Amino acid sequence: MLEHDAIQSAVNDAYHSFGQETGGKNADYIPFLAGVDPSLSGLAVVTAKGDIFTAGDTAYRFAIESISKVCTLALALEDFDPQTIQQKIGADPTGLPFNSVMALELHGDKPLSPLVNAGAMATTSLVKASSAEERWQRILKMQQRLTSSQVAISDELNQSEQTTNFHNKGIAWLLYSAGFMYSDPMEACDVYTRQCSTLLNTVELATLGATIASGGRNPVTNEQVLTAANCPAILAEMTMEGMYDSSGDWAYTVGLPGKSGVGGGILTIAPGKLAIAAFSPPLDPVGNSVRGQKMAAAVAQALKLNLYQC
């Protein structure tokens, strides 16, 4: 059992050691993200019992970006089952950047993972709905239930992404031509772009993770949001590809499933115990928050959460 004092001091120590670390650069291929204050930095833990520990700018709402892929995967797993996702999308790392076209070329156009852009758009297209609006509303609702918050789209961010997402549109058409897109491809790209354009704070992100950590039951609201049997598949996908082409390094050094977003969010989950969420905009070349990774890793290490430690 992790003591409250131990968790709070791990959070404080990690924040004070790495919360102002230099290095990295805001994402700028989405103009909105280039303008976010790079000095922001927050760290939160939410346990499977719903206890919350924080340090830094944890009330600031940032762009969910790729972390939305976890929520949409969770919804697709509710609509189908782990075998269908494995067959239609995949459960392997690509070893290449999150928006790689070469990764598709190398694997017969199968996206391999719901946590890269190609697989995420395919996953969005799988979500059961009779219209784009219904699909979007179901995805948004899932984000809200996982975070237990009224997570909302930022129109300004969405506009910024929708007017610059030409590369993702190209990927969507490639998937469509290969039979790995399950709705109209431009509709899937549009809804995917919306799902990346919601804002959440670090505590809400940690709550999302704590819901998965506790077998799909949101520890803040007590609502069973996900089927418990689907949670291992989410965590496996996060381990394989959640930190993109440094997923292996994250498993090797931290030993937990993780997920990043180019908005600067980092989520890492200790199954059955807690989730750690960190936020800070400057990214490393792979697209993962520099400070966020260091803060989250330090908490995991202080609390001895590495899953591979016997």
- Site of interaction with ligand GLN (CB under 6 A): 65-66, 98-99, 117, 161, 168, 196, 261-262, 287
Of the pair 99, 306, the CB lying nearest ligand GLN is at 99
Q: Are 42 and 58 in contact (CB under 8 A)?
A: yes
Q: Give the shortest CB-133-to-ligand GLN separation in angstroms.
A: 20
The answer to whether the CB of 239 falls within 8 A of the CB of 71 is no
| Helices marked H in the chain | 4-18, 31-34, 68-79, 82-88, 102-106, 117-126, 132-147, 155-162, 166-178, 185-196, 202-213, 231-241, 247-253, 290-302
Q: Closer to ligand GLN by CB, 76 or 115: give it.
A: 115
Which residue number, 118 or 206, has a Cβ lying nearer to ligand GLN? Answer: 118
**What gap in Å lies between CA 225 and CA 215, rounded to an integer?**
9
- The position carrying tokens 């190209």 is 170
Shortest CB 262 distance to ligand GLN, Å:
4
By C-beta, is 100 or 148 nearer to ligand GLN? 100
Based on CB atoms, which residue is closest to ligand GLN, 53 or 244?
Answer: 244
Minimum distance, C-beta of residue 84 to ligand GLN, in the bound complex (Å): 24
Closest by CA to 138, choosing from 71, 85, 210, 199, is 71
What residues pair up with 155 in beta bridges, in sequence order? none
What are the Cα distances from residue 307, in Å, to 3, 204, 219, 241, 269? 19, 24, 22, 17, 10
Both tokens assigned to 48 = 């499977």
Cross-strand bridge partners of residue 283: 25, 289
For residue 4, the minimal CB distance to ligand GLN (Å) is 32
Give 196 or 296: the residue with its C-beta nearer to ligand GLN.
196
The minimum distance between CB 307 and ligand GLN, in angstroms, equals 24
Q: How far is the CB of 122 from ligand GLN (least distance, A)?
A: 13
Nearest to ligand GLN of 86, 164 (CB atom):
164
Q: Tell me which residue has its CB nearest to ligand GLN.
A: 66
CB of 24 to ligand GLN, least distance (A): 14
Q: In which region does residue 95 sit, left (phi positive, over 0), alpha (psi from -120 to 50) or beta (all else)? A: left
